[in-house]
Amino acid sequence: MTKKFDYMSLNSGYHIPFSVSPETAKMLMEDITAEKMDLQIKTERFKYEFPKNQVSKIKELNLFRTDFIQSNNFVRNLNHPHVKFLFPSIKKWNKILKEWVNEDNNVIEYLMLFRQSMAFFLQASVLAGIPHRETRFKRNQLKSLVGEDKFNEEMMQSYDIRRFSDSREATIVFSENSVTLHVWTDAQKAKIRNIHD
């Protein structure tokens, strides 16, 4: 059986997760090599924890159900460069963004947290306790920097933040039902310098 894919999906598309064993969940998360994977799965009495100090074989991971994920030290152990996770709780969004500011994860480049509800939420609640300023980038500059495939056309407001440990910069982008963290890589920082030169 092949374990290498350009794209793999285990997602019903109807908000009904596939029930899998803990062994299968671990296999999907660790043994599969993929450019992109969409998962909507659940497990019984099992919490998956991302392996420490190991970059995932999945470049872009989209989880449409996250209750099987161990949420303690979430950012510290997160080992996927590009991730998109369903987290209904605004408090959880705030907690995860605070973790990024206070930790030293150098794997994450793009992290989107979203919810299915379109109910109004306060951006101030998401940013509570996180030093931030309105982004210095214009909309077209952000689009050029993050790429067409990662740019959210429904972007509402953006803020720049800085990590405490090493001053690594990122931009938080809000849309109607999501918040996205764009972490500036060295290559992107070179683009940033060119924009301001």
pLDDT the model gives residue 153: 65
**Per-residue confidence band for 197, with pLDDT thresholds at 50, 70 and 90:** very low
Global pTM exceeds 0.85: yes
- CA angle, 106 then 76 then 70, to 5°: 140
Q: What is the pLDDT of residues 175-184, one digit of tens each?
A: 888 899 999 8
Q: In whole angstroms, what is the distance from residue 168 CA to residue 186 CA?
A: 10
Contacts of 169 (CB under 8 A, 6+ apart): 160, 161, 162, 163, 183, 184, 189
Answer whether residue 147 shows pLDDT above 60: yes
Region of poorest pLDDT, from 48-52, 54-58, 62-66, 70-74: 70-74
Residue 26 is classified by DSSP as H
pLDDT the model gives residue 129: 96
Highest mean pLDDT among 22-26, 66-70, 72-76, 134-138: 22-26
Class of residue 87 by CB neighbours under 10 A (exposed 0-12, middle 13-18, buried 19+): buried
Mean pLDDT of the chain: 87
Q: What is the pLDDT of residues 63-84, one digit of tens each?
A: 999 889 987 788 888 888 999 9
